[in-house]
């Protein structure tokens, strides 16, 4: 809503809609312009593109790895001692999740700042993303899984269930 838009625009967030092809082109241009600007702050990008349950690392979106810039991976792992920071948008509204977080004793997490990474000669953006994802997964003790984080928004087909 208004509060979210005001707060995020004040820190220079780049908004986009993943389902709009035109938005992808515009965002790619804005990201490139930002990383090439010498006076700009570093970008904070969550390349999974969605909230994940603190047990896995899902496939990264490749856009952040196509910019030709240094990537500084950060591994974050939440401790559920006071509250589970994972937001399951299928089960809880964002307002209720935010209320739960703000009324808990604390949100506890481990944060590891890892060595900066660069695209290696001959490496594709997808390979670069997978390499960074692996570094993060190993450090945080997370399992790498070969699916997109948006899988949580769809149900498996009856055929798939029968095969399992």
**Using one digit for the tens of pLDDT, what is the confidence trace for 67-76?**
988 999 999 9
Say if residue 158's pLDDT is above 80. no
Residue with tokens 């509250």: 83
Say if residue 4's pLDDT is above 80. no
Domain locations along the chain: 1-44, 46-153
Q: What is the pTM of this model?
A: 0.79
Please, which pLDDT band fits residue 23 given cuts at 50, 70 and 90? Answer: confident
Q: Can you spell out the DSSP letters for 71-140?
A: B--EEEEEETTS------TTTS-HHHHHHHHHTSS--EEEEEEPPPB-PPTT--HHHHHHHHHHHHHHHH
Say if residue 151's pLDDT is above 60. no
Say if residue 48's pLDDT is above 90. no
What local confidence, expressed as pLDDT, does residue 149 receive?
61
User: How many Å is the Cα radius of gyration of the chain?
Assistant: 18
**Using one digit for the tens of pLDDT, what is the confidence trace for 99-132?**
999 999 998 999 999 999 999 999 999 999 999 9
What local confidence, expressed as pLDDT, does residue 45 receive?
84
**Using one digit for the tens of pLDDT, what is the confidence trace for 138-147?**
999 999 988 7
- Residue with more model confidence, 51 or 43: 43
What local confidence, expressed as pLDDT, does residue 156 receive?
59
- Residue with more model confidence, 148 or 28: 28
């Amino acid at each position: 809503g208004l509060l979210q838009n005001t707060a995020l625009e004040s820190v220079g967030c780049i908004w986009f809609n993943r389902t709009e092809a035109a938005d992808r082109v515009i965002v790619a241009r804005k990201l490139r312009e930002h990383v090439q600007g010498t006076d700009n702050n570093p970008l904070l990008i969550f390349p999974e593109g969605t909230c994940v349950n603190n047990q896995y690392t899902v496939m990264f979106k490749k856009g952040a790895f196509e910019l030709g810039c240094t990537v500084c991976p950060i591994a974050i792992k939440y401790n559920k001692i006071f509250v589970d920071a994972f937001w399951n948008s299928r089960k809880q509204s964002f307002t209720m999740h935010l209320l739960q977080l703000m009324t808990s004793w604390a949100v506890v997490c481990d944060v590891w700042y890892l060595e900066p990474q660069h695209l290696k000669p001959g490496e594709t953006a997808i390979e670069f993303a997978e390499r960074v994802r692996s570094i993060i997964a190993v450090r945080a003790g997370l399992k790498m899984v070969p699916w997109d984080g948006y899988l949580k928004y769809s149900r498996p087909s009856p055929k798939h269930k029968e095969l399992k």
